[in-house]
Chains A and B, each alone.
Chain A
Amino acid sequence: KNEVEQSPQNLTAQEGEFITINCSYSVGISALHWLQQHPGGGIVSLFMLSSGKKKHGRLIATINIQEKHSSLHITASHPRDSAVYICAVITGSNYKLTFGKGTLLTVNP
């Protein structure tokens, strides 16, 4: 069983819809990253969270350390949001990163 589980694996939405991607993990962590990988392959780090909530534009990330769960929300989704969203947790004293398998989001116009 993976230490980091994302759901759903694939998500298709219509432009304007509110999107939620979930990440659950089974180990103690010091922080969690949300990454975005575009169809061309480039990876962008969106958020680093250790507690609470962060917001950047239409993106909101939340984390509940007790429940070992994080969510990434996209408000007013747009076709340019189409990408793979990857959750990664930081564990251990050496800050080892463990990745989820990613969620493929497709937003149709």
Chain B
Amino acid sequence: DARVTQTPRHKVTEMGQEVTMRCQPILGHNTVFWYRQTMMQGLELLAYFRNRAPLDDSGMPKDRFSAEMPDATLATLKIQPSEPRDSAVYFCASGYRALAKNIQYFGAGTRLSVL
């Protein structure tokens, strides 16, 4: 049963620490998305990749956030330094080809708490 795998599921850290979240997309999917969900803002698109190339990261605070795809089986989202306002659930999703053509498959999310 193919699924998007995110690690860790939960992360508690102190303000100022680096946080790295990982995502393994479904094999064969060539599009990867990072989303953030908070009570106040709901779901927001942070960044997305097609064929490992970043296509849009306009939703991501550039000063502290970075997203990469070192290979087709791994996407990472880093926050350095982390701040309490970064506390949220971060979802990764993968799909095939363009968003307008295909369903996205979501990971279970990483729940981040920055103290």
Contact = CB atoms under 8 A, between A and B. Distances in A.
B42 A100 contact: yes
Nearest to B44: A99
Contacts, number: 55
A86 B100 contact: no
A102 B106 contact: no
Given A96-B45, A99-B44, A45 B103 contact: yes
Interface residues of A, number: 22
B65 interface: no
Interface stretch (A11-19, A60-68, A70-78, A87-95): A87-95
B108 A94 contact: no
Given A41-B109, A44-B106, A45-B105, A95 B100 contact: yes
Interface of B: 33, 42-45, 48, 55-56, 58-59, 89, 91, 93, 98-106, 108-109, 111
Interface of A: 30-31, 33, 41-45, 48, 50, 86, 88, 90, 94-102
